[in-house]
Amino acid sequence: MNLTDKELFRMAVKAEEHAYAPFSNFHVGAALLAKDGRVFTGVNIENSSYGATICAERTAMVKAISEGCLEFEAIAISGNGGTSWPCGICRQFMYEFCPDIRVISGEGEENLRSYALRELLPEGFKL
Ligand code: THU
C-alpha cells in the first residue's frame, strides 16, 4: 500500500496522544515511513532534567534503526495537531541515515508541505 502524505500526517497526529510533554505542553508526533512500507511512530518524551528530552523524530528513528530498518522514504511531523518542523539536532540525526528523506508537516492535513531533508539542512555534516 502506498501511503499518502495526508495518511502519514494523520498517523503522526494520532501518535501525539502518547507524547510525554508535561513541561512544554507541546505534544509532538512523528510517523516515519520506511522504504519497505513499515511505519514507525514516535513522540517527544520530556524529562525533569530538561536536556534529557527526546524529540518525536528521534524516537521514531531510534525505534526503526534498533529493529534493523535503515532505509527511509518520508517522515510526517505534527505538533499539537499542526505544524512542527524538525529541530536542528533532529535534522542532523536524520541526515546521518537518510539525507534524501522527505519531511512533511503543515498547519493541518489539508495544508501540508514537504521538503527534502537536504533543503532543510544544506551542506549537512557527515563523516
Ligand atoms: N520537539 C520535538 O519533539 N521535535 C522537534 O523537532 C522540535 C521539538 C519537542 C521537544 C520538546 O519536548 C518540545 O517539543 C518543546 O521543545
Pick the CATH number of 5-120 from 3.40.50.720, 3.60.20.10, 3.40.30.10, 3.40.140.10: 3.40.140.10
DSSP notation for 26-41: --EEEEEEETTS-EEE
> Which residue, among 94, 36, 45, has the nearest Cα to 67 in the 3D structure?
36
**Would you place residue 2 in the very low, low, confident or very high pLDDT band (cuts 50, 70, 90)?**
confident
Domain boundaries, the chain: 5-120
Residues 42-92: pLDDT tens digits? 999 999 999 999 999 999 999 999 999 999 999 999 999 999 999 999 999
> Mean pLDDT throughout 111-124?
98
| pLDDT score, position 97 | 98
As a whole number, the mean pLDDT across the chain is 97
Strand extents, DSSP E, the chain? 28-34, 39-43, 72-79, 82-83, 102-106, 112-116
Atom of ligand 1 nearest to the CA of 21: 12
Measure Cα distances from 81 to 6, 14, 50, 127 in Å. Answer: 13, 9, 23, 36
Q: Catalytic residues, which ones? A: 57
Q: Helices 56-65 & 88-97, crossing angle to 10 degrees?
A: 20
Percent of the chain with pLDDT over 70: 99
Q: Tell me which residues have their CB closer than 6 angstroms to ligand 1.
A: 21, 24, 26, 28, 44, 46, 53, 55-57, 84, 86-87, 90
| pLDDT score, position 1 | 59
Atom of ligand 1 nearest to the CA of 86: 6
